[in-house]
Structure 1
Amino acid sequence: DLARRATRAVLARDASPADRVRARLAVIDAAGQALAALDETFAYAMDDAAADPALQAAVQLRIATKYNLSDGDPVRSRDAAAEAGRLAALGGDQVAEAMALTVRARMGRILGDPDAEDILAEALALPAPEVPLGMRNAPQYLAVRHALFDDRVDDARRRLLVLLPAVRRTGSAEDVFEVLRSLTEVELRRGRCTSASAHARRGLELTIEAGL
């Protein structure tokens, strides 16, 4: 595919280690959830990132995702995210640090960690883009999901209504869909079926338009 061809082109020339890492991260990101066969790519990326803690953090974040999605191991995912957060802080990358804390909070919730909400609060307190790429991985969105898990429906709705115009301005189609999907769930739980249907219809139209 395109990401793999671009990566081969980068690796074929005398690229810097940082460029090689970014090329391999592009392959990993393009794989979506199909990460099980990319162990070699992860290994090379970590080796190339050895001199740069911020790049190491970026690789570790993907490893944390792999442990959760491909390996079904939330403990290893949480631990990899903790290491990613340490490296991100060392490298001065607060966005990566917030994302690492978000993964820790998500895995902590799965594992029944009583500190999960405090960890999420740490992530939310860090400076971050208004709409980080990949809304599912953003602390703002995890806060919505936790509110829904805890039946704090009004809180979830309030947070989503802040996110919706932001993702419409700068987010991807997938991000807009995620917010609309959660708004549909919120309105259903509030008994507002007409509003829920409207959000669902907009989400469906978006997926058709974007070819999702």
Structure 2
Amino acid sequence: MERLETGKLFKRWRRAEEYHEAGVQFMRREYDGQSRHSLLDIRFINGVMEIPCLPVDESSESVFKNLLALEQMDYRFGNDISAYVTFMSQIMDTPADATLLVEKGIIVHMLDSDEEVSALFTRLTKQLTIRFDLKYYLKPLCHKLEAHYQNRLNRWIAWLWHNHFVNPWLALAAFAAVVVLVCTIVQTIYTVLPFVKPA
């Protein structure tokens, strides 16, 4: 398995909700009409993960199975689809994870529920093996994501935001409390200063 700089072994990607709770923002990757784009073109920059929109319907499972079989049969095709499917399967490990990606517009499906989307990717990876110790195109993304997740400051700020700043009134009250605290400190300094340095 791939050993990260933190000294922990990387075995799998975390769930989308876990990343979200650590401050990762999921966004649908937008393209203009002039630049070429790919479904595999996932980016993670400054705490924002941009994933291209993935339409899912009844035929998606067979399409992915055929692409995966092609990669598994001939190494010359690489392992990009295998890495992508493994990544999507692991970040959508539960229906709640799939719901998060649907809400962000990353997954657009015509299935009965978000749970079916999660189950579809779980089925795709049943017979799929990807070796994390070998080269695959999402490896740099894996390192950046794990470093962001392991950062305690990122998780603390995300916890604060999710639990206290969702309501605008709570955010305003917290801002007012900070202003009062700063004013109190400044007032205390100006009160004590004449006694420390008499004229």
Give TM-score, length-normalised by structure 2.
Answer: 0.27
**Which of the pair is proportionally richer in strand?**
2
**Which of the pair is proportionally richer in helix?**
1
